[in-house]
Amino acid sequence: MELVSTFFNYKAVVTKYNNPEGIIYNNHTGLAANKGYYEGMDLGEIWGYRADDLFLSNREIDDYLRKVDLTAFKSNDLWRRGDLKYIDTNGDGRVDGGKGTLSDHGDLQVIGNTTPKYSFGINLNLGYKGFEVSTLLQGVAKEISRLLEVTICLVEITITLKNILIISVQRTQMDICLV
């Protein structure tokens, strides 16, 4: 029997980058994907808006729009039940991306990261009197607040008898989410 396992924890941080304006990249600034790096940035970070709930009634929409300006998304007459209720996190009475910089990012916050945090692999080989079973499992996982997301990228099981292939099963992706 042979068992080999690997486990990696990965995080990349920008330590130096020429961005004197402090411009952040996200889909709200319209910059190309290779722009907007800044010192201290975690590679793969996702900037976005926080939402509290969904609008459940027209009265709730009207009451909220009297207190908070959401016109950065769409005009007030286009809000409907079921739309996200974005939070005014900086308390200025409107929800927007500010100037899209580190010093003025409005209500934008880092809400996630696209970079897999954990990489793992397990290789198990069993053999007895010419009968062999070999399995390979490898994948990535990341923790997003209370949600653990695991993607197994490659699962391979091979069974041989005296070097003759009997079964070979391959699965290329399996997603597991635990809340």
pLDDT tens-digit map of 128-145: 777 777 777 777 777 654
pLDDT tens-digit map of 11-47: 889 999 888 888 886 555 555 555 678 899 988 888 8
Nearest to 150 by CA among 138, 158, 167, 160: 138
Q: Mean pLDDT over residues 68-75, rounded?
A: 94
**Alpha-carbon span 154 to 95, nearest angstrom:** 42
pLDDT tens-digit map of 84-118: 999 999 999 999 988 888 899 999 988 888 777 77
Tokens 């997603």: give the residue: 175
In degrees and rounded to multiples of 5, residue 144 shows phi and psi of -120, 100
